[in-house]
């Protein structure tokens, strides 16, 4: 059972409010979240990039609201975040950002990772880093689905909402 918000947060945010409705699943998701948010091999700039890519895939407004400021604080160029919000590949990414973006988009768009994409990711992140990226994306898919199901809206307008993209 979740006894306190993660990392001593001042309030329990929407995904955790949903998790506690399943007392057996909640502590497992909390443990996964703890690892993926704070203990992976990736710096915050890249972890948050993966989360923003995931939020964009789902148009998960609360997730975007919560992680956009963390991405900028972690060192992600706001133009990169803006391009992701617009649904386009950023053209000014660092090599590691491009490798992460290409891996994530191969998974989301192609449902297949080419040898070239895999090799580029392995050179930048190693096998552990690739698994950390996949873990972040997979976990934040679950978070996005939870937030969408619970209809969690961004609490204010301090972060521009994600535009709805045409299919």
**Whether residue 30 has pLDDT greater than 80:** yes
Residue of higher predicted confidence among 54 and 23 = 54
Average pLDDT for the chain: 89
State the average pLDDT over residues 130-155.
90
- State the pLDDT confidence band at 158, using cuts at 50, 70 and 90: confident
H/E element holding 4? none
Compute the distance between CA of residue 90 and CA of residue 15 in angstroms, rounded to an integer. Answer: 29
* E strand or H helix at 154: none
Tell me the domain boundaries of the chain: 11-149
* Topology (CATH level 3) of domain 11-149: AhpD-like (1.20.1290)
What per-residue confidence (pLDDT) applies to 5?
Answer: 47
pTM strictly above 0.85: yes
Assess contact for 142 and 11: CB atoms under 8 A: no
Q: What is the 3-state secondary structure (H, E, C) of 50-109?
A: HHHHHHHHHCCHHHHHHHHHHHHHCCCCHHHHHHHHCCCCCCCCCHHHHHHHHHHHHHHH
Span 115-132, mean pLDDT? 98
């Amino acid at each position: 059972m979740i006894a306190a918000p993660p990392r001593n947060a001042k309030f329990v945010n929407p995904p955790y409010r949903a998790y506690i409705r399943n007392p057996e699943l909640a502590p497992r998701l909390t443990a996964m979240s703890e690892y993926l948010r704070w203990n992976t091999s990736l710096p915050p700039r890249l972890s948050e990039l993966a989360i923003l890519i995931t939020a964009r895939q789902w148009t998960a407004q609360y997730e975007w609201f919560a992680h956009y400021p963390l991405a900028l604080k972690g060192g992600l160029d706001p133009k990169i975040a803006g391009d992701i919000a617009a649904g386009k590949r950023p053209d000014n990414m660092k090599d590691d950002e491009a490798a992460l973006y290409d891996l994530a988009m191969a998974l989301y768009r192609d449902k297949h990772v080419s040898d070239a994409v895999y090799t580029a990711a392995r050179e930048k992140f190693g096998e552990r880093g690739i698994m950390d990226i996949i873990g972040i994306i997979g976990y934040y898919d679950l978070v996005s689905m939870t937030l969408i199901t619970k209809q969690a809206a961004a609490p204010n307008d301090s972060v521009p909402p994600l535009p709805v993209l045409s299919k």
